[in-house]
Amino acid sequence: MTQEQILRIFEQTGALQQGHFGLTSGLHSDRYFQCALVLQYPPHAERLCALGKDHFGSQAIDAVIAPAVGGIIVAYELARQLNVRSLFAERKDGRMLLRRGFRIQPGERILVTEDVVTTGGSVQEVIELVRNMGGDVMGVFAIVDRSGGQVNFGVPFKPAVRLEARTFEPEACPMCRSGVPLDKPGSRDMKSKS
């Protein structure tokens, strides 16, 4: 798939949105990539995640993991294509953890996935979690890299598409100064039950 074909899918599904958005990273932006609107269609998820399989499929991967919530479908679909386990990490008390009986064994080769990368903070937390459990991080796959090429995970990083989007610290946000209401569509504020 070309970058243009991927962007067309985002536009057709309404996933590329304009407005004033509070991102999971804490930054504000005038564009938001709501991957859930793309990933609700299994054929789109399959085609996009096939790009991750094309890039990482020649490596011996034991499992695919993502931070909840946005990356769960990406991890599942890519794991399905690679015929390996799919896991997700959840934030509890401010830390990424494996719950629900998920385990990573020492020496397992793990591919980390995400739907959208802006600062890469959640992905970096998952990388540290995998390494703390003795796993080897083989790389990172994301549907969208909107970091402007600024993230470096210390492992190979392959996004399906790289998109430029302006981000602002909240105190420097022109939309805040103009009084444009803030929309927070991400999952960072979701409450986790024990």
Residue 30 lies in a domain: yes
Q: What does pTM read for this prediction?
A: 0.85
Alpha-helical regions (H) of 58-156: 72-82, 121-132
Does residue 191 sit within a domain?
no
- 189 within domain boundaries: no
Residue 182 maps to a domain: no
Q: How many domains does the chain have?
A: 1
Pair 77, 66: CB distance under 8 Å: no
Question: Is 126 part of any domain?
Answer: yes
Q: Which of 58, 36, 60, 59 is nearest to 48 (CA)?
A: 36
- pLDDT tens digits along 1-20: 898 999 899 999 999 888 89
Q: What average pLDDT score do residues 81-90 get?
A: 97
Structural domain including 154 reads 3-177
Pick 146 or 86 by higher pLDDT. Answer: 86
Q: What is the pLDDT of residues 114-127, one digit of tens each?
A: 999 988 999 999 99
How far is Cα 69 from Cα 4, in angstroms, rounded to an integer? 26
Residue type, 17: Q
As a whole number of Å, the CA-based R_g of the chain is 16
* 161, β-bridge pairs: 144
CATH number of the structural domain spanning residue 60:
3.40.50.2020
Residue of 66, 69, 74, 20 whose CA lies nearest to 46: 74
Position 186 in a domain: no
Portion of the chain with pLDDT greater than 70, in percent = 95
Q: Does residue 185 sit within a domain? A: no
Assigned domain for 88 exists: yes
